[in-house]
Amino acid sequence: MFYNVEDISTEREKLEVEKFLERFQLRYEEVDDTIILRDNGKIIATCSKLGNVLKCFAVDEEYQGLGLTNILVSNMTDRLHEQNIFHHFIFTKPESTYLFENLAYKNIYTTDKVALLETGNQNINKYLKQICTKYNIDKEKEYTAIVMNCNPFTLGHRYLIETASQENENVIVFVVEEDKSKFSFKDRIELVKKGTADLSNVNVIPAGKYIISMATFPSYFLKKEDDILKVYTELDCNIFGKYFAREMGITKRYMGNEPTCKVTSIYNFSMAKVLPKYGLEIKVIERKQIGNEVISASRVRDLLEKREFDQIKEIVPKTTYDFLVKYKEKHL
């Protein structure tokens, strides 16, 4: 039997896909492309993507075993190639990994709730070797790592990095590489580089696609009662420990104490639980304060909306302040 691959465009069709996915306890979350297969007018299979992540897969029980997953993946891969994307990921349920492994996907890591697979002209080991070469990372040395979003870079971020710099010989700062923040990745990493330029033992590098951002983590396959944040952090920390620490000689990870933000607090808890299994030491640093208030990027963003530049000046480096003044002229 031959089935035509169809695009969807109308709200009615999107609702059809939503209803179809609900049968499999899946959610139709943010996507930029969706394809479907029909038989006698009814949807029998679907697949979507967002950027270079394939998601929202489902095949009707009656039609499983007929190679429909292969049809969907092949078609979506062709679309990615047309966009010059030759490497992509799939997040899925652990019990579904075999479907994609049979299509030449490589399993990066699987927890009890989620599996991350990849395929294409890149893989995590190859990527890390490239990063080590590009940024002169010598895995024979020992490195301390910090992962930051820096939206934007504040004196709080600077304090954490400077503390690590004073206490360790070599520090790598990974800046989360996604553009769902107020400030673009390009601007954020540039601010970190400028704000730490005087620290000779600090290497600021892109986090890449393997250090996952909560903003881009697909959760369509998780049940409502699952703690999405817990699932995300467990996957992210295990990938960091299994691959990044091993390939880059990372023996410590620094993090700021987080009394107010639930997301960061849970992430820190997962790090403390997972990373020691890979031989990493965890160091928690008290957050820098001005007066009785912890310095935070969210505070800077709030002050920026209110144009309170006198207060902003107190909690960001001069390089960030100068950037925000120019940003205000363009965007506010």
Superfamily of domain 5-122: Gcn5-related N-acetyltransferase (GNAT) (3.40.630.30)
Per-residue pLDDT, 165: 99
CA distance 287 to 154: 12
C-alpha distances in Å from residue 85, one per residue of 51, 106, 121, 184, 293:
9, 17, 10, 20, 44
Place of tokens 């790090």: 271
Residue whose C-alpha is closest to residue 125's, from 114, 139, 111: 139
Per-residue pLDDT, 225: 56
When pLDDT is averaged across residues 1-7 and rounded to a whole number, the result is 88
Tokens matching residue 311: 């207060």
When pLDDT is averaged across residues 268-280 and rounded to a whole number, the result is 94
pLDDT one-digit tens code per residue, 204-227: 999 999 998 776 688 888 876 568
When pLDDT is averaged across residues 139-168 and rounded to a whole number, the result is 96
Percent of the residues in the chain that have a pLDDT greater than 70, as a whole number:
98
Q: Is the pLDDT of residue 255 over 80?
A: yes
Q: What are phi and psi of 139, to 5 degrees?
A: -65, -10
Pick the more confident residue, 3 or 247: 247
Per-domain boundaries in the chain: 5-122, 125-287
Tokens matching residue 14: 């999107």
Per-residue pLDDT, 218: 82
CATH 3.40.50.720 fits 125-287, yes or no: no
When pLDDT is averaged across residues 73-78 and rounded to a whole number, the result is 98
CA distance 323 to 327: 6
Pick the more confident residue, 234 or 181: 234
